[in-house]
């Protein structure tokens, strides 16, 4: 397999090829024409698009870009996006030519962060950078989980394994597992507690475009379709665990369950909660007058992984709904808890 970086900038997109087949990893929406040209120039067949996580600093491909590239989108099963065609988990393999890339789940930067292991190299996304690591202060970030993933999964790879990171602001292109295990200043000589304390006190500023891109990437909707609320308000939405919601559903009267996924998700692999009302995210604003009959009832908002539903909960609260909660972890967490679903 061959690895080629296409952006030559801080945000890195990789083209991984085996013969005439190619995977596009972490594409940036604004550079779609560049990717199309490179694929055509090389006479390549794009067999997949892989996002190593839900990005907060640039727009991901989106519906129109997926249609133009004509390839399935692969992401971790914890991804909130409804655009994903194939969900993967730790140990799964993404086929390419006569070989495959192995998926390493590395939560911490985001819950859906993965790395991709090939023959002698690993694409580390925003988990392991050159002399750094991905920030863990966004919603869903977990420095302890990131420390475990790096030290127990990435640092067990052979020292000579070439590392291709998702970002670098100094023009560097690659490093090795051995170099990072020995000398990464965030990790060398630091135990788990020390790493957690360090990451919790970095004081980093938010990405410049986070308000414009994160909810678009999480929802698959564009800003002209949905009046997305400020992220600060989204972070204050009351959460309920799957088992807490299951208990509430046994009360009299039970809460209204509002599912803001797409119709194909509602009846798909994760199913839906019995009695849930399907109102896709991009239709929510237009259906608020019809939903207002439940404005004084408790409402639990549901999506795949808890991201879209948190934004939807804010919109409901702004519309006068009095008691609105978000299902933490969405239908992924509901299924993991072994709770009943309908399809």
- The closest of 70, 71, 102 to 89, measured between CA atoms, is 102
Instruction: Estimate the crossing angle of helix 210-219 against helix 308-318, to 10 degrees.
Output: 110
Q: Do residues 225 and 215 lie in contact, with contact meaning Cβ atoms separated by under 8 Å?
A: no
CA 65 vs. chain centroid, Å, equals: 17
Domains (range + CATH), the chain: 2-199 (3.60.15.10), 221-336 (3.40.250.10)
Question: 3-class DSSP state for residue 75?
Answer: strand
Q: Give the pLDDT confidence of 216-264 residue by residue, as tens digits.
A: 999 999 999 999 999 999 999 999 999 999 999 999 999 999 999 999 9
Question: Taking all residues of the chain, what is their mean pLDDT, rounded to a whole number?
Answer: 97
> Would you mind telling me the total number of residues written for the chain in this entry?
343
Burial class of residue 8, CB neighbours in 10 A (0-12, 13-18, 19+)? exposed
Q: How far is CA 92 from the centre of its chain?
A: 17
Alpha helices (H) in the chain, listed in sequence order: 32-41, 62-69, 143-149, 177-183, 192-199, 210-219, 231-234, 242-248, 263-266, 284-291, 308-318, 330-336
**Residue 209, pLDDT score:** 87
Reported as a single tens digit per residue, the pLDDT across 99-134 is: 999 999 999 999 999 999 999 999 999 999 999 999
24: three-class secondary structure by DSSP: strand
Predicted pLDDT at 238: 97
Query: pLDDT confidence of 329, banded at 50, 70, 90?
Result: very high
Alpha-carbon gap, residue 249 to 218, rounded angstroms: 27
Packing angle of the helix pair 32-41, 62-69 (nearest 10 deg): 10
How confident is the model at residue 163, as a pLDDT? Answer: 98
pTM: 0.95
Instruction: Convert the pLDDT of each residue in 278-299 to its tens digit.
Output: 999 999 999 999 999 999 999 9
The CA-to-CA distance between both ends of the chain, in Å, stands at 40
Q: Does 84 have pLDDT greater than 90?
A: yes
pLDDT of residue 57: 93
Q: How far apart are CA 132 and CA 156, in angstroms?
A: 18
pLDDT at 208 (0 to 100):
85
Over the stretch 3-49, which tens digit does the pLDDT of each residue have? 999 999 999 999 999 999 999 999 999 999 999 999 999 999 999 99
């Amino acid at each position: 397999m061959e690895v080629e970086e296409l952006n030559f900038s801080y945000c890195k997109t990789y083209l991984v090829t085996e013969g005439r087949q190619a995977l596009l990893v972490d594409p940036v929406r604004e550079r779609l024409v560049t990717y199309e040209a490179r694929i055509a120039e090389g006479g390549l067949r794009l067999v997949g698009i892989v996002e190593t996580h839900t990005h907060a600093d640039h727009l991901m491909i989106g519906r129109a870009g997926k249609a133009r590239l004509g390839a399935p989108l692969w992401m971790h099963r914890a991804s909130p996006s409804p655009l994903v065609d194939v969900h993967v988990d730790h140990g799964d393999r993404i086929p390419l030519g006569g070989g495959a890339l192995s998926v390493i789940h590395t939560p911490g930067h985001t819950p859906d962060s993965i790395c991709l292991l090939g023959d002698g190299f690993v694409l580390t996304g925003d988990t392991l950078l050159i002399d750094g690591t991905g920030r863990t202060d966004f919603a869903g970030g977990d420095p302890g989980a990131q420390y475990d993933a790096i030290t127990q999964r990435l640092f067990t790879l052979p020292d000579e394994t070439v590392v291709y990171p998702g970002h670098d602001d100094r023009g560097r292109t690659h490093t090795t597992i051995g170099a990072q295990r020995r000398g990464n200043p965030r990790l060398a000589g630091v135990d788990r507690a020390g790493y957690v304390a360090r990451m919790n006190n970095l004081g980093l500023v938010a990405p410049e475009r986070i308000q414009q891109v994160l909810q678009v990437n999480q929802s698959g909707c564009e800003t002209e379709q949905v009046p997305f609320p400020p992220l600060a308000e989204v972070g204050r939405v009351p959460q309920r665990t799957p088992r807490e919601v299951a208990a509430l559903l046994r009360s009299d009267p039970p809460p209204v369950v509002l599912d803001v996924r797409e119709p194909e998700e509602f009846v798909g692999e994760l199913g839906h909660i019995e009695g849930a009302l399907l109102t896709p995210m991009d239709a929510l604003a237009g259906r608020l007058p019809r939903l207002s009959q439940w404005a004084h009832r408790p409402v639990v908002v549901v999506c795949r992984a808890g991201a879209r539903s948190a934004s939807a909960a804010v919109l409901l609260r702004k519309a006068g709904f009095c008691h609105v909660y978000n299902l933490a972890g969405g239908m992924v967490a509901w299924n993991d808890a072994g709770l009943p679903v309908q399809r």
